[in-house]
Structure 1
Amino acid sequence: MKEISLFDVPDADERGVSPVIGVILMVAITVILAAVIATFVLGFPDQVSESVNAGADISKSSDGNATVTWISQGNAEYLNVTAKNTDASNPVQLKQVGESVKVTGNTAGVSTNIVVTAYGESGTGTVVAQKELVLNESS
C-alpha cells in the first residue's frame, strides 16, 4: 500500500467519489428550485379560482309555487335563478339582498330542479342553493 502525505495529490484511482456526488446533488437542488420559482412566476396562483359565497332560500309557498330569496350577501355581486319546466327556464337575476323571485311551474306534478348560482366580481359562478320541488300548474 502506498503512503499518502497531506501534501500529495492522490492518483485518479485513489480519489473518492464525494466530489461527483456533491456536484450531482447541487445540480438537482438547482433544478428543483428553478422549477418551484418558475411555477410561481408563470402564474400558478392565478389559476386558483375565486370561491363565491352567498345565502339563498328556496321555499315552496302555499299556492304550490316556489319562492327564491337572496338572504345573505357574502362576496357575491348577483344571483342567477334557473329552473327547468318553469317560467324561470331562462336565468332570472337577483341584484340585491332581500330581493326574491317567484317560480311558477308550467306543468302540474312535474318535478322541478331550482338552482341558485352566485357570481362574484371576476365573473366566477358557484352554486349556492339547489332544491328539487314539485310545483303546481300556474293559474
Structure 2
Amino acid sequence: MKLKNLFTEDRAVSPVIGVILMVAITVILAAVIGTFVLGLGDQVQETAPQASFAFDYDGTDLVITHESGEAVNNDSVTIVDPSNENNWPDSDGKITAGDSYNLTSLNANDGDTVRIVWTSESGSTSSTLQKWTYNG
C-alpha cells in the first residue's frame, strides 16, 4: 500500500456524505410528521391575539375599550370580575379597535382585579389579554 495514494484517494467520501444526508433528512421528516400526528401542529396556531385595552372607572361603572391590536372573536373573550364572568356583547362577532364594554355596578374593593380572558376555539388554551386592578 502506498502512503501517497491513501491521502489522495477520495472514492469513499461520497458514500459517507450521502448516508449522513439521508439520515439527516429522515430525522427532519420524522420530526415534522410526528408534530402533526400528535396534534402539536394545531396548538401552534392557537396563540393569543395581541390586543390592547383601556379601562375607565368612575366609581360604579368600568368601561373597557379595545384600543389597538388584532380583532378578537367576542365568543372567545370573557370579562372576569370578582363576582361574575361576563361575555363581551355580540355586535358583529369581532371586537375591534374602538369597541367598548360597560361593566355596570362594579363594587370594587381595594385590590380587586378585572381580567380580559381569551380562550381558544378548542378550549385547550387560555390567556389573560389584559387586567385592571382597583387601587382605592
Alignment partner, residue 67 of structure 1: 62
- 1:133 paired to 2:134: yes
Q: Which has the higher helix share?
A: 2
Alignment partner, residue 111 of structure 1: 111
**Whole-angstrom CA distance in 2 between matches of 1:112 and 1:22:** 69
Is contact 1:56–1:68 with CA below 8 Å preserved after alignment?
A: no
Alignment partner, residue 58 of structure 1: 55
What's the offset of the Cα at 1:33?
0.7
| Partner SS, residue 104 of structure 1 | coil
| Partner SS, residue 111 of structure 1 | coil
What's the offset of the Cα at 1:117?
1.0
The change in CA–CA distance for 1:12 and 1:78 in structure 2 (over 3 A counts) is same
| Partner SS, residue 27 of structure 2 | helix
Return the match for 2:77 from 59, 72, 79.
Answer: 79
- 1:36 paired to 2:36: no
TM norm structure 2 = 0.62
Identity %: 12
**Whole-angstrom CA distance in 2 between matches of 1:52 and 1:119:** 8
Is contact 2:76–2:118 with CA below 8 Å preserved after alignment?
A: yes
Is contact 1:58–1:66 with CA below 8 Å preserved after alignment?
A: no
What's the offset of the Cα at 1:17?
5.0
**Structure 2 counterpart of 1:111, which letter?**
G
| Partner SS, residue 14 of structure 2 | helix
After superposition, the CA RMSD in angstroms is 3.1
- 1:22 paired to 2:22: no
Q: Mark the runs of 5 or more structure 2 residues left unpaired by the alignment.
A: none
Is contact 2:78–2:88 with CA below 8 Å preserved after alignment?
A: yes
**Whole-angstrom CA distance in 2 between matches of 1:46 and 1:101:** 34
| Partner SS, residue 46 of structure 1 | helix
**Structure 1 counterpart of 2:15, which letter?**
V
**Whole-angstrom CA distance in 1 between matches of 2:120 and 2:43:** 16
The change in CA–CA distance for 1:58 and 1:70 in structure 2 (over 3 A counts) is same
Larger radius of gyration between Structure 1 and Structure 2? 1
